Amino acid sequence: MRPQGSLDSERHRRSRFAFRPFVTIGWLLVVATAFALGYFLAGYDVERTLARIQALQTERDTFSEALAAERDTRVRLERSHLIDREARRVVQSQLAELQGERLQLAKQVAYLRGLLHVDGKGVVEVKEFVLTKRGEEGDFDYQFTVNQLIPDFERSVGTAEVSLVVRDRSDDRKTVALADLPGSTDGRHDMAFDHFQSFSGTIRLPADVEAREVIVDIRPANDNLLPSSEAFVWRSGEGSAMTLPPVAEINVGDF
């Protein structure tokens, strides 16, 4: 028969060995739980990473589109610059041609002046016609200067008559004297000068009349001058003086 102490020691050893499987199972559960939690967290991080990657790809695509648009804009600007340079070249070429034509016309004018001087008759030229709009609607002031084209010519005497080419409500185009427009000066100016002379007057247009041209007729008092007529395109500024451009055709001689 075993002693009591030996029996207790053996029971204690057996109970300790019997408890070990439960400890092992507990640790396995802890490890499994940690593994599952790590897997879950790893999956969550993967989803966040994929979302971030997608956002970066979207941002990259946006920057790519902006870069492509910037390149297109630069190409258009470069093409526009080339077009502007070509346009400037064309304009410069046209200006050169116009200057050449101007010189040719100057030679023709000098030739005509020589012929007129040989004929012994002078020609009065309307230097410029300036129109200024007044405060009232349809009221205008005008001023123009005449001079003798032939150098060293004797005194030029006659009248300078101002008239208008107008269009009324019926779209009829006709020439009217300033004397026929109420509120206007009569448009007849006595002319007597050696070199040049300036004239001025007023024009009042009725509300239903549209002016198209201003005509200045030079009517000599004697045979030493040729009659002439010059026309100017009607243009009116807002309160500022405007020099009217001449119409290309100038009539000299009987008319």
- What residues does each domain of the chain span? 1-119, 122-252
Q: Which pLDDT does position 234 carry in this prediction?
A: 92
Beta bridge partners of 125: 147
Among residues of the chain, what percentage have pLDDT more than 70? 62
Q: Which pLDDT does position 20 carry in this prediction?
A: 59
Q: Which pLDDT does position 223 carry in this prediction?
A: 86
pTM: 0.55
Q: Which pLDDT does position 143 carry in this prediction?
A: 96
Q: Which pLDDT does position 145 carry in this prediction?
A: 95
Residue 46, both tokens: 């993967």
What are the phi and psi torsion angles at 200 (to 5°)?
Answer: -150, 160
Whether residue 158 is predicted with pLDDT greater than 90 in this model: the reply is: yes
Among residues of the chain, what percentage have pLDDT more than 90? 26
Residue 29, both tokens: 């559960």
Q: Which pLDDT does position 131 carry in this prediction?
A: 93
Determine the Cα angle at 202 with ends 196 and 203, to 5°.
120
CATH 1.10.4100 fits 122-252, yes or no: no
Q: C-alpha dihedral over 66, 68, 74, 78, to 10 degrees?
A: -160
pLDDT tens for residues 3-33?
555 545 555 455 554 555 555 666 666 555 6
pLDDT tens for residues 102-152?
655 654 565 465 555 556 678 888 888 999 988 778 899 999 999 988 878
* Range 205-220 average pLDDT: 91
* Range 181-210 average pLDDT: 93
Position with higher pLDDT, 44 vs 245? 245
What's the CA gap between 245 and 129, in Å, rounded?
8
Position with higher pLDDT, 48 vs 37? 48
Q: Which pLDDT does position 111 carry in this prediction?
A: 44
Selection from 144, 146, 147 nearest residue 129 by Cα: 144
